Every structure is written in C-alpha cells, then in structure tokens.
Amino acid sequence: MQRKASAVWQGDLKTGKGSISTDSGVLKQTQYSFSTRFENGVGTNPEELLAAAHAGCFTMALSAQLGGAGLTAQKLETTATVSLEKVGDGFSITKSHLDLVARVPGADKAKFDAAVKAAETGCPVSKLFKAEISVSARLES
C-alpha cells in the first residue's frame, strides 16, 4: 500500500509560499509558508500534518488493541502535540505527546493501560518518529 502527497514551493524561505496536496483530494493546494510553520499564519504546516497522522494512527491502533482484549470503545478522542525545536544549527521534531480521553464500557484499568501501551509502540506512525513519544490517557466511566 502506498499513499501520495505533493508539495510545491515558490520563493525564498521567509517570504515564499507553498501548497500541499494529497492524491485523495482531502488537501488540495493547501497553503503553507514560513509564517504557518514558525509563527501563527493561516494555513497548515508539516508538523500539524504529522500530529494529525499520529493522532489518527494511534487511535485506530488502540481500537484494534481493545478489540483484541474483547472491548469496544464508545469513544476514543486523541490530541497529538508535535514539538518542533531548535537543535544546534537546525530544527528537529523532538516529541509527540498524545492526550487520550476514552470511554470504553467494561474496561478495567489494567487492560486499558496495556492496550494504550501496545498502541503507542505499535502504531506505524509512532515507529516512524525518532522523537520522544508520550501518552496521557484518561479512562472515563
């Protein structure tokens, strides 16, 4: 299975602008620029897209882990925060933190925690990152 996305950039780093598109059409010439990446400009940026990918991947992986334990989530809500930090002369993605709020009828804490840990390490996007990955998980009743 392969998925594709493309980027076009015009101009220099600080005043130039670009667009990102996906084959699915979900992103179609979506704007990105220096200001959307390093300031608060309107548009997206690579780190935001990585955060979305990590949140989605982890949440699906957790659903699979819970299913393997005989549990079905009523709702799993994950927010990923990707940190881009200056490291030496350049920038690096240093962390991805996942905040999870889950409603899983019949789940006990031990089974839930085991499923969360397995999803954290088993999600393909987690495996892609060379950054610190952490999870804060809250099981609601």
- Domain architecture of the chain: domains with CATH: 5-38 (no CATH), 46-140 (3.30.300.20)
pLDDT digits (tens, 9 = 90+) for 2-13: 999 999 999 999
In this predicted structure, what is the pLDDT of residue 19? 96
| Mean pLDDT along residues 104-109 | 95
Closest by CA position to 59, among listed 103, 111, 4, 5? 103
Res. 141: pLDDT tops 90: no
Q: Model's pTM, two decimal places?
A: 0.92
What values do phi and psi take at 129, rounded to 5?
Answer: -70, 140
pLDDT digits (tens, 9 = 90+) for 57-70: 999 999 999 999 99
Query: Could you give the C-alpha distances from 128 to 19, 36, 68, 72, 96, in angstroms and in order?
Result: 23, 23, 24, 27, 11
